[in-house]
């Protein structure tokens, strides 16, 4: 890895560039009360050219890019990353617009045999493109900012979830979305849960297990808080089953959708909160666990590549995927032996999200499922689902997104299963959208298996009371 991957902190926060000639300006500066202190470099100041040193142009990244495969207009990660960076001079900011077509699936990262920091290059270039080239008033900018900051809208929607769900589902709303904002009308907006995970957690009175030696800080992310609290609850139940004390620290969006939309400043703010809160939890003896593969990816890889808040590295080094952590620290397969799930779970078509693949976790789910009686999980292959977060929501990407997803849809169709399984919320939307299957999260299956009686847990039905769920948990 080259030095380029370290963000540059110029260490001269408040100093004015001295180009305008000698000292004269300095005096004025002292009087400037509201001189904003720029502690970290702007995205466009990050010099990743040295990262191009590792590229020997083999094009493996291009052949692994799902967007390049279906879209001839997309020049591919090699151009987008090392080539484009190498052609830059310090003052050149004209990033090619094609960077907005990259879905940030990060497959190129794992494909590259030479550790070129591709997604770091894409993320930074995208931010620069947005900063320099995209008009702040354009509908595209507003739409992207809205999609990227979905978390800000979500709390509103979940205050009135039923209304929100109805309104979002209305064809008029969708039509408006497409016409005014460029959000495709082909997709169903995700439903908002009537009770968010955090609400449930507070009502429940927090952790049911206290254990100084086994603590985790749960990074639930936005989606399992607002839309699929059943996944978050499953995590709590499963971890409590293994005797962990679960902490749920303050948190912001992981930043994944913001990176993908080039909103690096928004991502920076979110990341700052997360790093601060998670570092505090680590200080308290916890490891950080995420249930969403993009959230763990973001904290582990993108944060250290793009930011250098104090403790960024520590947080990255102590963050785990929920299933991975149990496989390392517990005898998960042992615990699952002789367990079974009820009729609620059929055989499943499993799609490993790109962001799991990038973390080397694409094989774990099938192995874990194998240990459970009465359920077979079929891997539907290593293709990309094509939605990549907010990417597939954009009107202009919808078709590309569905083309990329085609292979996965076909494999799901061929697999002997009528339910889908994955760990990424947007992959799950795409799987459902393309096949009509119901899609589960691996933690939900684990919860059912370890609880002994999946039906009783009923975490998915939403309107269940805390008491019911908690009791069920305590019985496992």
DSSP class of residue 461 equals G
Q: Does 37 bind another protein (CB under 8 A)?
A: no
3 binds another protein (CB under 8 A): yes
- Work out which of 25, 56, 337, 406 binds another protein, going by CB under 8 A: 56
Q: Which of another protein, ligand SF4, none has residue 451 at its interface (CB below 5 to 8 Å by kind)?
A: none
**Least distance from another protein to the Cβ atom of residue 109, Å:** 18
Distance CA 274, CA 316 (A): 11
The CB-of-215 to ligand SF4 minimum distance in angstroms stands at: 34
Kindly give, in sequence order, each residue whose CB lies less than 8 Å from that of residue 89, ignoring residues fewer than 6 positions away. none
Nearer to ligand SF4, 117 or 434 (CB): 117
Distance CA 382, CA 400 (A): 18
- Paired residues of 246 in beta bridges: 216
Least distance (Å) from another protein to the CB of residue 303?
21
Alpha-carbon distances of 69 from 214, 350, 384, rounded to whole Å: 45, 22, 11
CA distance linking residue 37 with residue 444, whole number of Å:
46
Q: Which of 13, 14, 15, 455 binds another protein (CB under 8 A)?
A: 15
Residue from the set 5, 84, 119, 318 that interacts with another protein by CB under 8 A: 84
Backbone angles phi, psi at 354, to 5 degrees: -55, -40
Does 17 engage in binding with another protein (CB under 8 A)?
yes
Q: Where are the alpha helices (DSSP H) in 309-381?
A: 312-317, 322-329, 332-336, 354-357, 364-370
Q: Decide if residue 464 touches another protein (CB under 8 A).
A: no
Site for another protein in 91-130 (CB under 8 A): 91-92, 94-98, 114
Is 307 among the residues that bind another protein (CB under 8 A)? no
Distance (Å, rounded) from C-alpha 102 to C-alpha 39?
A: 29
The residues with which 218 forms a beta bridge, in sequence order, are 289
Nearest Cα neighbor of 45 from 5, 96, 84, 10 is 10
Binding stretches for ligand SF4 (CB under 6 A): 55-61, 65, 67, 77-78, 80-82, 102-108, 111-112, 114, 116, 118-119, 122
335 near another protein, judged by CB under 8 A: no
- The listed partner (another protein, ligand SF4, none) that binds 119, CB under 5 to 8 Å by sort, is ligand SF4
Q: State CA 356 to chain mean position distance.
A: 10
- Residue 91 Cβ vs another protein, minimum distance, rounded to whole Å: 8
Q: Considering beta carbons, is residue 126 or 214 the nearer one to ligand SF4?
A: 126
**Minimum distance, C-beta of residue 406 to ligand SF4, in the bound complex (Å):** 16
CB of 56 to another protein, least distance (A): 4
The residues near 189 (Cβ < 8 Å, ≥ 6 apart) are 165, 168, 169, 174
As given in the structure block, the two tokens for residue 456 are 């009783």
Nearer to another protein, 84 or 110 (CB): 84
The contact set with another protein (CB under 8 A) reads: 2-3, 8, 10-12, 15, 17-18, 21-22, 47, 49-50, 52-58, 75, 78-79, 83-92, 94-98, 114
């Amino acid at each position: 890895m080259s030095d380029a991957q370290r963000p540059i902190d110029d260490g001269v926060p408040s100093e004015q560039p001295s180009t305008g000639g000698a000292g004269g300006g300095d005096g004025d500066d002292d009087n400037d009360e509201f001189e904003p202190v720029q502690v970290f470099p702007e995205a466009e100041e990050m010099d990743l050219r040295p990262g191009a040193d590792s590229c020997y142009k083999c094009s493996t990244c291009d052949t692994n890019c799902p967007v390049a495969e279906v879209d001839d207009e997309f020049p591919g990660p090699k151009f987008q990353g090392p080539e484009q960076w190498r052609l830059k001079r310090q003052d050149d900011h004209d990033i090619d617009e094609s960077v907005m077509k990259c879905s940030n699936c990060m497959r190129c990262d794992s494909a590259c045999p030479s550790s070129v920091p591709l997604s770091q290059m894409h993320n930074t270039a995208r931010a620069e493109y947005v900063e320099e080239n995209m008009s702040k008033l354009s509908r595209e900018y507003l739409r992207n900012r809205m999609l990227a900051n979905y978390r800000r809208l979500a709390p509103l929607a979940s205050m009135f979830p039923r209304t929100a769900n109805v309104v979002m589902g209305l064809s008029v709303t969708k039509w408006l979305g497409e016409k005014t904002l460029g959000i495709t009308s082909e997709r169903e907006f995700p439903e908002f849960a009537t009770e968010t995970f955090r609400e449930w957690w507070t009502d429940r009175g927090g952790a049911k297990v206290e254990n100084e030696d086994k603590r985790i800080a749960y990074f639930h992310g936005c989606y399992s808080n607002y839309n699929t609290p059943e996944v978050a609850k499953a995590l709590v139940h499963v971890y409590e089953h293994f005797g962990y004390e679960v902490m749920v620290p303050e948190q912001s969006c992981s930043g994944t959708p913001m990176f993908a939309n080039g909103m690096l400043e928004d991502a920076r703010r979110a990341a700052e909160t997360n790093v601060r809160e998670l570092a505090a939890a680590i200080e308290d003896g916890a490891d950080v666990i995420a249930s969403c593969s993009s959230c763990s990816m973001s904290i582990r890889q993108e944060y250290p590549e793009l930011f250098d808040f104090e403790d960024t590295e520590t947080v990255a080094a102590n963050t785990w995927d929920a299933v991975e952590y149990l496989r390392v620290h517990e005898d998960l397969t042992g615990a699952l032996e002789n367990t079974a799930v009820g009729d609620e779970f059929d055989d499943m078509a499993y799609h490993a999200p790109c962001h799991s693949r990038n973390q080397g976790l694409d094989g774990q789910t099938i192995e874990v499922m194998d240990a459970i009686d009465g359920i077979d999980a079929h891997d539907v292959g290593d293709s990309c689902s094509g939605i990549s977060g907010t990417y597939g929501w954009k009107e202009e990407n919808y078709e590309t997104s569905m083309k990329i997803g085609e292979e996965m849809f076909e494999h799901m169709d061929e697999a002997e299963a009528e339910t889908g399984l994955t760990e990424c919320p947007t992959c799950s939307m795409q799987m459902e959208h393309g096949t009509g299957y119901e899609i589960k999260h691996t933690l939900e299956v684990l919860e059912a298996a370890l609880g002994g009686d999946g039906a009783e847990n009923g975490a998915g039905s939403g309107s269940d009371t805390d008491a019911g769920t908690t009791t069920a948990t305590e019985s496992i």
